Each structure stands twice: as C-alpha cells, then as structure tokens.
Structure 1
Amino acid sequence: MGNQDIITLVVASDNQYAILLGALLKSIEENHKTGEKIDVYVLDDKISASNKSRISSTVNPERITLNWKTISSVIPPHLTIPVDNTAFPFTAYYRIFASHAIPADRERVIYLDVDMIVLADISKLWKTDIGDCLFAAVQDWQLTVSCSWGGIPNYKELGIPADTKYFNSGLLIMNAKKWRDEDITTKVIKFMHENVKFINYADQYGLNGALYDRWFQLDSNWNCFAQFENEAPYIIHFLDVKPIFKSYRSRPEFKEEFYKYLRLTPWKDHKPVTNYNRLFKKIYTKVKKKSLQLFSFK
C-alpha cells in the first residue's frame, strides 16, 4: 500500500473538546468498511496527558494511527495567527496549516472539525474527485458572501461578486501538494492580517475571502448542520452548542447519534454538563485576544 492509499486526516483540538474528538474518531472507525489504513494527525492545543490516553485507547491502532503534533511544530516561523475580535479560539485557525502537519509526500488531506461525527465510510469522501480545484467543501447555511448577518462583510471592497457561494470550513478535502506548492497558507494568513477588522468567523472569513474561486462544492450531506433536519447525513456537524452541554438546542436525534459513539469510548459514562465552562471559555478567549491586541499596540 502506497502513501497515497493511506487516508490522511487532520483534526485540531484543545483539552475541553478532547471528548468530542473521541466520539469523532470512534464514528470514523465504526463506519470505515474498506481496507485502507487511516492516519490521523492531531494538532494538539494543550490536550492533557490523561485525555490523550483516553483518545489513544478509543481507536484500534491496526486501523487508525494517531500522530500528535504541537501547533508550534506546524506553523511556519514567519507566520503569526491574526488576533481578531471574535470569541473563536485560536484553535479554529489551525486547519489553515493542515498541509504542513502531514508528511511531505502526502498529496491529499481531509480536515475535520472535532464537533462532528461521521456516519458514512470516510473512504467515500477520500476518493471524491475534486478535479483541479485547490480544495473541496460544503456550502454554509450563510449561502453567499453577501449574507447580511455573516458572509464576508467587505466583499464589495474585495471585488468578490455578491452571489459567490460561501463555504463552511469545518470539512475540507485539500489538495495538499498544490496547497504547499502555491504557499496558500501564507496567502490566507496575509489576507487576514490585512483585513483583520472584518474577521467575523475566524479562519472561515480568511479562507472564503482569499480562496473564494478555488473550491469544489461537495454534497451537503458531507457537512450536515445539526440544527436542521436530515434523514440520511454522511457527517453531522454540531455548529451550535455541543451535545456535551445541557444547553444543547439542535436536533435531538443527532445528539443521540453522538452519544451512541461516545458510549464506545472511555467517556462512556459522560452526562451533559452545565453551560458555565463553555461561556467561561468564550469570555477567556475574548479577554486574551484583547490583551494581545493591547500588548502589540505601538
């Protein structure tokens, strides 16, 4: 089996959402029916040793190999993540570096947000033909860059047509070779630094703004948002409050699917917890970003 026959995945997680990563990996393993090996590269944002142990024991190492990568080992030294005004954690930006997290001989990589569960065989997604496009994604529920409550706020100034489709960055099939050859990571980061005051959805703003005409549109079932009814999704994406919290408010049947897989992990006895930790994390992120902005002000 050559390296291009190995399904290569990248995920990023902090310690709070390690539990989500456990459920995601178990769902991938349970629904992978073909013989390819799966290599998973975890961009580790301070996941505790105990949670790493839980995640490692979740998967069969003969089927899924876990590779732990610190973000400092992945971000090129000349690049810095922009400090925006959102409550999105810095972890959200790590997908932009996915092509740098995998071996140089890997030509394709799938990036997945950890707040997902995979209900179809991941090999079907892996084998999707995206033609000459740089990457593939699913259209977001914001639909176009001109969405009044989201999208790209400065799309007119950037010269992007108002009807340009807007994608969700939670799932990306990336042509990793082309991404590296064209130094796309640097271009996206540079774009965000130049437009930092317009950043609304963290990395998603930068990817849509810089690469609006470079993507292939996937079947929406590959990134089904848990707020909406769908009888046969391939991947469920918990965009809103995650199912580990009591304040979860998306479709109840998708919460059941999540716990179906979580019960197959070391977190099998987990019960939904209060919202305080989630809200504290958002406040902490906002304060941290504000501090960094003040510190860097000259």
Structure 2
Amino acid sequence: MISIAVASNNNYAILMAVLIKSIVFNHHTDEDITFYVLNDKISSSNQDKINSLIKNSPEITIKWINADSVFPKNVKFPMDNSAFPFTAYLRLFAPFVVEESVKKLIYFDVDMVVRKDVSELWNMNMQGYTMAAVLDVGKTAGTPWGGIPNYKQLGIDANAKYFNSGMMIIDCEKWRNENIPEMVFKAMRDNIEHVNFADQYGLNVVFTGKWLAIDPLWNWFANIYHPNPKCIHYLDIKPIFKSYNSDIVLQKEFFKYLEMTPWKGISLKSDFSRLLGKAIIKFKKKFISLVS
C-alpha cells in the first residue's frame, strides 16, 4: 500500500485534482494507493469532483481529513510575513493523523504533476533518515536570495544542503517520536524576522545535515525546461493563471491532466484573483499577530 498525503484549501482544489489524476494515470504497478487529503474547507461539490477521479479505480482510495482534526487544539502558528496560508502547515501533522500501520508517507504540494510511477519514489531506500527530499532552487543554506537568511547566527555551514519541502518522503514513526512540528514551529518563532518561506525555513533549520537528498527529477521546478521530469513543481505563478511565467511546455503537461478532470475546458484566471488571495492571507496574519 502506497500512502500519499496532500493538503489544500478550496482555492487550490483544481490543482489537487490534477495532481491526483497524474499520479493515478501513471501508476502501473500492483500496489494500492491511499490518498490522505488534508482538507481545509474544500466545498462538497469540489470534493465530489475529486472523488469522481477514482470511480473506476478500485485500487485507489481517497480519505478526507478535515483540517480542524489535523491541527492540535490551541495550536499557535508562527506569524511570518509570507503569503503562505495556514493550509501549508497541515503537512507537518500528516504523520500524526494517518493510521498507526502507515510507516511511511509521501507528501506532495498540490501545485505538482507526477509523470512517472509513484511506486519508484515509494520503494526508495530511506537509509535510516527521517525524511528525504530534493535540493531547492537555492541549493544551499547560504544562498543569498533563499536558503536560511540567518545561517551564520545559527551556526549552520553556508554550503549545507537546502531542500524544497514540496515533496517529502517521511518516516512517520521517526517524525512523530522527534515531534517535528513542534521543533519546526520553535525554529520559526525563535527566528521569525528571518523566516522567508514559511515552514520550509523551519524544516531546513531542523533537518540541516539530517535528510536524504534524492533525484532532482522528483521535484523539478517548472521555470527550467527538462524533457523528462518525473515530477513537475509549479513553484511560481500556477498554470491556471494568465500571468503564468514558467516553461510553456511544462504548462501544457499540466493541462494534459487537467483535461482528464471535471475541470476540463476551464478558462485561465486573471491575475487579480491571485494577488487578492495573497493580500488577504497577509492581512489575516498581521491581524492575528496584533490581537494575540
């Protein structure tokens, strides 16, 4: 059984549908797949559309887990200045809400398309590590425009490998025993003025020198063309927006799978809706930080 966690709010339900469809379409080995959908207020109609993706695939299961039951009660989120929604933090708690029998979990951001059989990723040797991932665009902690801005103060080597948290293979038992969410949140709270990419900052602080780097084709960034990536990550503006500015060939790959979903034929969205969404998230964070 392959166990996969994804997290989304209603705004990105369409992206999650494309991701799930791409995984199912390209899965050819005999392992069953269970998707654990960490659901941040996705509408019932969108849930129905996503469930329809697997109606002819008895070997695939989708389990919906509401965000309210994922986050611990009275959890206090670090209030950074980014436009990442609180939905992003759901992934940190995924190993705590799956069944105890689930020993390993693959996490995917929803702005991805998987082009190869996910069983290859699933059967990768973790070599005793708690987590495996792919190097980020900024490959080291000391990267000036990314990485860990205060790496010197934290005693981290400038050349320490820095990963992108959009795809992670997680040893659930080790993750729970080490209480990774609390460690990540503490790293963020203690260094909040330096937090640049939400929990990716905290994850890299916590896992510096303690994670397994795997084939970059399993988290290939769409701003750089490659003829055969195993998993495409649309890091910047998403393919559903008119202002999409990454590789056009890789955008077409997204729409190949979109046309296999109930959202086929949709028009590209305006940039206004994207920018408004970011502004609302930043406003909420600022408001919460002022009243808490």
TM-score, normalised to structure 1, is 0.95
Offset from partner CA, 1:55-92 (integer Å, 9 cap, x none): 11112451221111112211233642211111111112
Q: What is the SS of the residue equivalent to 1:291?
A: helix
Asked whether the 8 Å contact 1:138–1:220 carries over to 2, the reply is: yes
User: Amino acid of the residue matched to residue 155 of structure 1?
Assistant: Y
1:173 is paired with a residue of what secondary structure? strand
Distance 1:211 1:108 in 2: 18
Written as runs of structure 1 = structure 2, the 5 A alignment for 1:159-174 is: 159-174=155-170
Equivalent positions of 1:130-279 (< 5 A) are 130-279=126-275
The whole-number CA distance in structure 2 between the counterparts of 1:227 and 1:49 is: 33
- One of 13, 29, 33 as aligned partner of 1:34: 29
The whole-number CA distance in structure 2 between the counterparts of 1:47 and 1:23 is 15
Structure 2 residue runs of 5 or longer lacking an equivalent are none
2:7 aligns to what?
Answer: 12
- Identity value in percent: 47
The runs of 4+ residues in structure 1 deviating greater than 3 Å are none
- The equivalent of 1:295 in structure 2 is 291
Amino acid corresponding to residue 32 of structure 1 in structure 2: H
Question: Which residue does the alignment assign to 1:3?
Answer: none
Instruction: Output the CA distance in 2 between the equivalents of 1:52 and 1:276.
Output: 25
1:18 deviates by 0.2
Contact map agreement 1:166 1:208 (CA 8 A) in 2:
yes
In the alignment, structure 1 segments of 5+ residues that lack a partner are 1-5
Amino acid paired to 2:190: E
**Offset at residue 169 of structure 1 (A):** 0.2
Aligned residue pair count: 291
Say whether the 8 Å CA contact 1:41–1:101 is kept in structure 2. no
- After superposing the two structures, state which structure 1 stretch, 100-109 or 225-234, moved more: 100-109
- The alignment status of 1:106 with 2:106, answered yes or no, reads no
State the Cα distance separating 1:17 from its structure 2 match.
Answer: 0.5
Q: Secondary structure at the match of 1:67?
A: strand
Amino acid in the other structure paired with 1:246: K
The more displaced of 94-103 and 166-175 is 94-103
Q: Does structure 2 retain, via aligned residues, the 8 Å contact 1:145–1:162?
A: yes
Secondary structure of the corresponding residue to residue 155 of structure 1: coil
SS of 1:159's equivalent in the other structure is: coil
The Cα shift of 1:102 comes to: 1.0
Structure 1 residue 95: deviation in Å?
1.3
Report the Cα offset of residue 268 of structure 1.
0.9
Q: Which moved more, 1:190-199 or 1:21-30?
A: 190-199
1:85 aligns with 2:70: no
Are the counterparts in 1 of residues 80 and 195 from structure 2 also a CA contact under 8 Å?
yes
SS of structure 1 residue aligned to 2:11: coil
- What amino acid sits opposite 1:257 in the alignment? E
Match of 1:120 in 2: 116
Question: What is the aligned partner in structure 2 of residue 44 from structure 1?
Answer: 39
Matched residue type, 1:192: M
What amino acid does structure 2 have at the position aligned with 1:73?
A: S
User: How much has 1:25 moved relative to structure 2?
Assistant: 0.6
Contact 1:25–1:59 (8 Å) recurs in 2: no
Counterpart AA for 1:98 = A
TM-score by length of 2: 0.97
In structure 2, the residue corresponding to 1:151 is in which secondary structure? coil
Question: Per-residue displacement from partner, 1:32-58 (whole Å, max 9, x unpaired)?
Answer: 000111111111111111111111111
1:62 to 39, 58, 61: 58
Deviation at residue 98 of structure 1 after TM alignment: 1.7
Mapped to 1, the partners of 2:239 and 2:149 lie a distance apart of 30
